[in-house]
Chains A and B, each alone.
Chain A
């Protein structure tokens, strides 16, 4: 086995956390039963890596198999790195009938036309997502497997999620995607974050929505205990309204764990007490970042408890409604 391949395998073993190592290797399925039994998982990672390298050398596993292992690990744990979203626009007439085999062939052929020496691996996950792993090389060197790009696409939806793509390769990948899905253009969707599952759930609305109804609350209970009858919330109606509006904007139950939102302000400075700043003609450029372990839940709580005024301002409600978390705000238009 080549040194670079050994290095790749060692790097991969270091990356996989010790708790998941055994299950990932079992899913990989390339080790024989006796090899699996002989591996002692209580040793240090370095020793396990050495043993695995020698086992793989014996079984003559190649780069292809190791990249399989990496893909299995990333597919099971997609919430790492930074994912960026792109949206496909202007579908052609037969865009809806693109199915998996056709997409695979088209994508591989387009990408190899655009750049030689790329290594592409496409796999369909159980939840209808197509995972693509691309290792880039150029005319002179072999594909660099240490810095592979991962792409996730749900066929028949216009959304594509990309991880670890350098700006040099970006136009090539985007063109290959556009052509193979039979669309005319692709643009950045201004949604990025660490948790792929959160981005996907937000865009595809996979959380509980609240729809406006004419009679929001069910009939009141008639069997209140005596002590509960003596406690009364005086402003219960206002509080219920706030809760309802917050739920209608952000949803009910567990919300996707979006972690940050950035507002890029390019508006004029507005402060009547500060003459020096308001006299300037150029816009005041300022960037506001909201971050949280679950941003949508905290915004919903702000609206429900009255900290943010209801109805919720379009600046905040555009986050779930438009599925974006990067906004540029200029004076004329609220969200650009």
Chain B
């Protein structure tokens, strides 16, 4: 199995590499355009539909610092594809280098239990869960800004912090009342 490994290649100076994985291949393009506009750091963006990544361009690919799974909550296929792609990540990534981003969380056609399932997944993997609004450019800008914060830490550009330290603060936790029976 071709696992994506976090530390198998050498990093570049003042560079951060991010991989956006999305089954629909829509929002990732907008996010990518906003991410590369960052001037303090050179950001390289790789877009993929699912893992595993093809072996052919393994040589030219830089070391990926942060893997973001973009999941559209209105589509089951999106969630299943992201779950299947998780198997192709080396466990080293789950120490703060993986992030989940959910779109369309407030849409009327979200199946009940879908958001909870995603939360359970993020909690079990100790990863942060972000919510994004994908229909407007402002949505892309604000999600890009949040991703950049995590990305700079994950690529080691912020002194005195590592991805593991940050993940202790940002990781998803289940709200305590989720397990209680509801009263309606």
Chain A positions near chain B (C-beta within 8 angstroms): 227-228, 230-235, 237-239, 305-307
Docked pose: A173 CA to B102 CA in angstroms: 60
Task: Please classify how large the interface on chain B is, using the bins under 10, 10 to 19, 20 to 34, 35 or more.
Answer: 20 to 34
Q: 9 shortest A-B CB distances, which residue pairs?
A: A227-B36, A234-B48, A231-B32, A233-B47, A231-B45, A230-B44, A230-B36, A234-B46, A234-B53
Q: Is the Cβ of B45 less than 8 Å from the Cβ of A307?
A: no
The answer to whether residues A234 and B57 also contact, given A239-B25, A305-B24, A305-B25 and a CB cut-off of 8 A, is yes
Can you list 26 pairs linking A and B with CB atoms under 8 Å apart?
A: A227-B33, A230-B42, A230-B44, A230-B45, A231-B32, A231-B46, A231-B47, A232-B47, A233-B46, A233-B47, A233-B48, A234-B19, A234-B46, A234-B53, A234-B54, A234-B57, A234-B61, A235-B48, A235-B49, A235-B53, A235-B54, A237-B54, A238-B54, A239-B25, A306-B49, A307-B77
The listed residue (A231, A234, A238, A306) touching B33 by CB distance below 8 A is: A231
Q: Which of B43, B49, B77 has the most CB of A within 10 A?
A: B49
Residues of A within 8 A of B61 (CB): 234
Residues of B within 8 A of A227 (CB): 33, 36-37
Residues of A within 8 A of B45 (CB): 230-232
Docked pose: A315 CA to B43 CA in angstroms: 45
Chain B positions near chain A (C-beta within 8 angstroms): 19, 24-25, 32-33, 36-37, 42-49, 53-54, 57, 61, 77
Question: Which chain A residue has the least Cβ–Cβ distance from B54?
Answer: A235
Residues of B within 8 A of A239 (CB): 25, 49
Docked pose: A231 CA to B46 CA in angstroms: 6
Q: Which of A231, A232, A237 has the most CB of B within 10 A?
A: A231
Docked pose: A228 CA to B36 CA in angstroms: 8
Residues of A within 8 A of B53 (CB): 234-235
Docked pose: A238 CA to B37 CA in angstroms: 27
B135 to A: closest C-beta gap in Å: 18
A39 to B: closest C-beta gap in Å: 48
Residues of A within 8 A of B77 (CB): 307
A62 to B: closest C-beta gap in Å: 57
Q: Is the Cβ of A232 less than 8 Å from the Cβ of B49?
A: no
Question: Which chain B residue has the least Cβ–Cβ distance from A227?
Answer: B36
Residues of A within 8 A of B33 (CB): 227, 231
